[in-house]
Structure 1
Amino acid sequence: MPWILLFAAGLLEIIWATAMKYSQGFTRPLPTAVMVVGMVASFWLLATAMRSLPLGTAYMVWTGIGAVGSFVVGVVFLAEPVTAMRMAAAGLIVAGIVTMKLAS
């Protein structure tokens, strides 16, 4: 169950990061509100997962999901560039997440 909570927390991190982008510097109320609610929910799920998971593992997986997910959102929805170096960097993050999960 803690891994499911951690995964959900990571998905919410993608949502709040995306909402932050769409808030245009906190000038748009709806994306700003989505960001705040997403942050609170993401942190709460992370804290709940940390009751059972080690700090380093939980935090690394949470930030990794958020980082790679936000990268994918940027590429798919915001037309951010896809380069070999950016893909390699995302792949290394995914490899780190998988390795951390296998080590736990």
Structure 2
Amino acid sequence: MTTSTNNRMNALRSVLEEQFQRHTTELTTLSTYGTVPEHNGHDRQTVLARIEATRQALADTANALKRMAEGTYGRCERCQQDIPLERLEIRPRARFCVPCQQTSGR
């Protein structure tokens, strides 16, 4: 791995760690308000939907960090080809390369 690639991967790790922290904080806040009938003008269903979306984002971020630790980050889960760094920089939690993402419809 070149120094430039290594630096870019370290930057991605930092982004993912920041996202993990932000999602954790948001989930804590939303969970607290999830028991309140209305929060910031949002009905209970909206708050519950945001809780679920934040849980999924947190799980996806944790999974990306786990893949980094295991050395499989940046490899497509379907075709096993490398995911271009440019894609990972745009979408750090990406699990698939663009062709496989389009095929799976996710």
Q: How high is the TM-score relative to the length of structure 1?
A: 0.41
Q: Which has the larger radius of gyration?
A: 2
Structure with more of its chain in helix, by fraction:
1
Q: How high is the TM-score relative to the length of structure 2?
A: 0.40
Determine which structure has greater relative contact order: mean sequence separation of CA pairs < 8 Å that are 6+ residues apart, divided by chain length: 1
